Structure 1
Amino acid sequence: MRPAASPPHLLTLILLTANSVLTLNMFVPSLAHMAEDFGVDYAVMSLAVGGYLLMTAVTQLLMGPLADRYGRRPVILSGLAIFTVASVICALTQDIVIFLAARMMQSASATGMALSRAIIRDQFDDREAATKMATVAMIMAIAPMLGPSFGGLMDAFLGWRASFGFYAFSGVALFVLTYLDLGETHLKRSATFGAQFREYPELFRSRRFWGYALCAAFSVSTFHIFVSGAPLVAAAAFGMSPAELGVYMGTITLGFIIGSAISSRVSRRFQLSTMMIAGRLLAALGLGIAALFILAGQLSVPLFFGAMVLSGMGNGMTTPNASVGVMSIRPHIAGSASGLSAALIVLVGAFTTTITGAVVTETNGAFALPFLMCLASLIGLGCALLVRIIDRREARGT
């Protein structure tokens, strides 16, 4: 088999990104069975999710600079190899400590998500990259909808270890696909890590970089807030069964797919900040109006989950453009910028879910959840407006 020498097809980047998402959530329905099998408390078993998220942030901080120095291709191939070995260990081990250690190693799959964005940015200008990234996001959004259902079915018929066997199989398949299809796209590498790191202070001092990065982080945090609080609200306010909740949980993802489709069609016509502002306004207005009606006693399922569709649409319009903006500040260290932004998304998500858990209760949840999501959307809007102001000042040469 000859290694690839040309840029990858978009489908390859979609599969690499989807694998990162499935690695996080596909086995979640099996957590209770896994805790029973290992003979540990559920809280210990939940480290397979929380600890993995933390390691994902660390992995992306490390893999970004490595990809800028040595190229996208070798880092993704190395990440997939580590992920595959870790998945085999998870599927076979009987020891909880070894399992959790291998589970942390599975965070190497995150290289696929972070570096897929950098690969797109390597090949296209800002607006075209936003269009391509929106297409990837639109199709990839199916993964979080179907992943847990698929994992639950495998647990029911084959046991929870089948999910990790699937991970190992996908790791091998993606390694082969990447080897054959993903040629190197990063051709302007730093001569040394020292030369590369000397670029970082200028990146970190850029208000535009932090505007893009924080806009992306607080946009995605609305999804984290929703996932954290929706089960409580659905049961307390609407009396939904878990099966009904599973259907309605897809509303925010459906909105994201619609928003990403819009972005993929129109992003090349507008500035990045224009799409970001439009997305944040749509989300903030939808969630804010719903919160006000709920506060006035007009609570209903269509109102509550309709607002979630609008929130998802806003995210689909905002996130691809903000992600491209993050990597446009210093294109030759786009991998580092993408990794830093991805880590920031995880950290802001951890912070907002903690706040959600402390604030949302059975009595106030129907109002508090859209209110918190609206607040996060407004913070993202403020960051997008900051980028627009800076863009206008630079255009005027002031």
Structure 2
Amino acid sequence: MNDYKMTPGERRATWGLGTVFSLRMLGMFMVLPVLTTYGMALQGASEALIGIAIGIYGLTQAVFQIPFGLLSDRIGRKPLIVGGLAVFAAGSVIAALSDSIWGIILGRALQGSGAIAAAVMALLSDLTREQNRTKAMAFIGVSFGITFAIAMVLGPIITHKLGLHALFWMIAILATTGIALTIWVVPNSSTHVLNRESGMVKGSFSKVLAEPRLLKLNFGIMCLHILLMSTFVALPGQLADAGFPAAEHWKVYLATMLIAFGSVVPFIIYAEVKRKMKQVFVFCVGLIVVAEIVLWNA
């Protein structure tokens, strides 16, 4: 028997959890390209409050990510994932029922509070053998990128056809579907894996937070998210000023995603083959800087 071949249970766990994670992220990302354009029609809306509505999910997600991960060690992975998705769905319903920007902000905050990423990764570790865990994690990573691209296209189309409130209702349906998949498709795990790549060691939390290499990485990720959220606050307005109606924004995002996916592959291959991951990483950061300067002057 090939020990590196995934068992049916491992494949089911990988596909199931990958789909659950993707449904949540699809719902989260579909809002990004449309909230600036369509959200200004909400009661009390301003550019500053729209920015808060776009980014507040990240704040609440950061606050609850680690506590939810630790809680999953106590109450179990699947109950935590189901609970997190229920909170996410509740936030979506609140946003769907709201006609004011403050209701959208509250809904987005609740969406972020359903932070299930750590529990999903932990359950995936529990349900896969060590030799297959990297492949399972890679599947989650690939699905994340594909989901982002799909969301950039679907969000503007759905909102133009059905409206912003309908978009949030659809996001609530996605979360409910994720709950059903977690309960009936994702396998149960009776034990927690203790030798997985990431785990909690008592007394090490403060050391992890103070680790210089992780601080650099965390700071870089924070800057990347700030750039992403800031871009989606400003870009829809710039596209409208350039003559692209809101209904056509998805075409710009689709073209951008296709070009990005096509051009990133050679960089990844080069970085892996030549073992120059850091150099390629720095080069890509430089491209982001150039892109932001171009957008600034557009």
Q: Does the pair score TM above 0.5?
A: yes
2:176 corresponds to which residue?
172
**For 1:37, what is the secondary structure of its paired residue?**
coil
2:16 maps to 12
Aligned to 1:153: 157
The whole-number CA distance in structure 1 between the counterparts of 2:187 and 2:211 is 28
1:295-347 residue CA offsets vs partner (Å, 9 max, x unmatched):
xxxxxxxxx78xxxxxxxxxxxxxxxxxxxxxxxxxxxxxxxxxxxxxxxxxx
Alignment of 1:121-160 (within 5 A): 121-124=125-128, 128-160=132-164
**Cα offset for 1:215?**
3.8
Q: TM-score scaled by structure 2? A: 0.71
Instruction: Provide the C-alpha distance between the structure 2 equivalents of 1:51 and 1:138, rounded to a whole number of angstroms.
Output: 25
Question: What is the rounded CA distance, in whole Å, between the counterparts of 2:164 and 2:126 in structure 1?
Answer: 39
**Which residue in the other structure is 2:68 paired with?**
63
Cα drift, residue 17 of structure 1: 1.9
The residue that corresponds to 1:77 in the other structure is: 82
Cα separation, partners in 2 of 1:68 and 1:186, compared to 1, 3 Å: farther
**Aligned pairs (5 A) from 1:218-367:** 218=220, 221-222=223-224, 225=227, 228=230, 246-247=253-254, 249-250=256-257, 254=261, 258=265, 278-285=276-283, 362=296
Matches of 1:361 and 1:163, distance apart in 2: 28
Q: How far is the alpha carbon of 1:10 from its aligned partner?
A: 1.6
Q: Distance in 1 between matches of 2:296 and 2:224?
A: 19
> Which residue identity lines up with residue 30 of structure 1 in the other structure?
L
The Cα offsets for residues 332-364 of structure 1, whole Å up to 9 and x where unpaired, read as xxxxxxxxxxxxxxxxxxxxxxxx8xx99846x
Kindly indicate whether residue 7 of structure 2 is the aligned counterpart of residue 33 of structure 1.
no
Runs of 4 or more off by more than 6 Å in structure 1? 207-210, 229-233, 259-262
- Is contact 2:17–2:182 with CA below 8 Å preserved after alignment? no
SS in 2 for 1:205: helix
Go from structure 1 to structure 2 and tell me whether the alpha carbon gap of 1:123 and 1:215 turns closer, same or farther (over 3 Å shift).
farther
Q: Which amino acid aligns with 2:204?
A: E
> Quick one: distance in 1 between partners of 2:97 and 2:220?
38
One-letter code of the match for 2:45? Answer: V
Alignment-mate amino acid for residue 281 of structure 2: A
RMSD, matched Cα: 4.3
Go from structure 1 to structure 2 and tell me whether the alpha carbon gap of 1:16 and 1:261 turns closer, same or farther (over 3 Å shift): farther
Question: For the residues of structure 1 that align with 2:146 and 2:87, how far apart are their CA atoms?
Answer: 25
Shift of 1:9: 2.6
Counterparts of 1:75 and 1:101 in 2: how far apart (Å)? Answer: 21
Look up the match of 1:118. Answer: 122
Aligned residue for 1:88? 93
1:3-46 deviation per Cα after TM superposition (whole angstroms, max 9, x unaligned): xxx77532222222223322332123133322313242132132
Are the equivalent residues in 1 in contact too, given 2:81–2:120 (CA < 8 A)?
no
What's the CA shift for 1:170?
Answer: 1.0
1:138 touches 1:261 (CA, 8 Å); kept in 2?
Answer: no
Q: Is the 8 A contact 1:155 1:162 kept in 2?
A: yes
2:110 aligned partner: 105
Structure 1 residues 115, 100: CA separation in 2 closer, same or farther (over 3 Å shift)?
same
Query: How many Å separate the matches in 2 of 1:131 and 1:260?
Result: 21
Give per-residue Cα distances to partners, 1:68-112, cap 9 Å, x unaligned: 11111110011112222222222123344344223211124431x
Change (3 A) 1:183 1:108: farther
Corresponding pairs, count: 273
1:205 matched to which residue of 2?
207
CA apart distance, 1:67: 0.7
Query: Could you report, residue by residue, the CA deviation over 1:228-262 in whole angstroms, capped at 9, with x for unpaired residues?
Result: 569989x99xxx87668535642685169848997
Query: Counterparts of 1:219 and 1:128 in 2: how far apart (Å)?
Result: 27
Partner of 2:3: none
% same residue? 19
Which structure 1 segments of 5+ residues have no match?
A: 1-5, 191-195, 263-273, 295-303, 306-355, 366-398
The amino acid of 2:257's aligned partner reads: G
Paired residues of 1:60 and 1:110 also in contact (CA < 8 A): yes
Unaligned runs of 5+ in 2: 1-8
Structure 1 residues 104 and 360: alpha-carbon distance in aligned structure 2, compared to 1, 3 A threshold: same
2:54–2:233: 8 Å Cα contact kept in structure 1?
no
Worse overlay, 163-172 or 80-89: 80-89
Instruction: Say whether the 8 Å CA contact 2:57–2:113 is kept in structure 1.
Output: no
Give yes or no for contact 1:48–1:103 (8 Å, CA) kept in 2. Answer: yes
- Asked whether the 8 Å contact 1:71–1:189 carries over to 2, the reply is no
Query: 1: distance between equivalents of 2:267 and 2:175?
Result: 27
